[in-house]
Amino acid sequence: MSETSTTASFQTIAIRHEGPVAVVTLNRPEAMNAADAVMHRELAQIWDVIAADTTVRAVVLTGAGRAFSAGGDFPRMVATQRDQDIQDEVFAEARRMVGSMVDLPQPLIAAVNGPAVGLGASLVTLCDMAIAAESAFIADPHLGVGLVPGDGAALLWPLTIGLMRAKEYVFTGARIPATTARELGLVNSVVPAEEVVPAAVELAQRLAEVPARALQDTKRLLNTHVTRVLTGLLDQALHAERASVNSAEHAELTQRLIEKTRP
């Protein structure tokens, strides 16, 4: 692995270093860190940059402001519906993001500082561990806008919380409060909001002291369960999600949401 620097320029994602720990912050607080075109592209790129940096021994992922991530933003949804070339980009980026997060050699800890919705829920699910603020919640409301959730939660929640529980929360899009998420195994611990990032960084520092090769090989071994699921289902899931993007149902529901949120 060649040594590079994670100070590469990203427009919507901030990176800072606390010793051997890289703290990655989704940085669109005015939009509750909803992923626009730039952030979605950068979420597909950043993990390969971090993987190549031998000075980084552990990683924390969090959000700026009051949300972890509100998911996707409406303008990008509409553009994706209308333009097949944009769809090609979006689904290639989704595939790369999922694969590179799962394959990231360093341990990755989510500091869930606020709502983690849609794509935000998927990002938490793709991390190795998670610490949530007491006020945070997780939700996957894809079905509410006529979309198949193809890039994370629906694929991996059955491994974590069991098939029937996964169906309950994916079918209904119901919010999972932080304490319930801990009971279900979607997060490891729950702390006061002001402690969530420090607690995640402290855990990352502890993991950074574990012998790197043994830790990385053990992570790869444990993630065999995840990679087997993704190898069999990711392409199928993304194909189903793309079909739902092109549905009249999704277009109608998205338009209703846009009209509801207009001032």
- Give the pLDDT band (50/70/90) at residue 258: confident
Q: 24: part of which helix (H) or strand (E)? A: strand 21-26
Edge-to-edge strand list for the sheet holding 176-177: 116-117, 137-139, 176-177
Can you tell me the mean pLDDT for 148-176?
Answer: 92
Question: Is pLDDT above 80 for 8?
Answer: no
List pLDDT tens digits, range 227-250.
998 887 899 999 999 999 999 999
* Cβ proximity of 217 and 73 under 8 Å: no
E strands, 32-184, in order: 58-63, 108-112, 116-117, 129-133, 137-139, 176-177
pLDDT for residue 5 is more than 80: no
Tell me the chain's radius of gyration from C-alpha atoms.
17
Domains annotated for the chain, with CATH where assigned, are 13-261 (3.90.226.10)
Residue 61, Cβ neighbours under 10 Å: how many? 27
Residue labelled with tokens 């829920």 = 121
- Quick one: pLDDT at residue 77? 84
Beta bridge partners of 25: 14, 62
Query: Residue 20 above 70 pLDDT?
Result: yes
pLDDT beyond 70 at 259: yes
pLDDT of 168: 97
pLDDT (0 to 100) of residue 1? 31
pTM for the model stands at 0.93
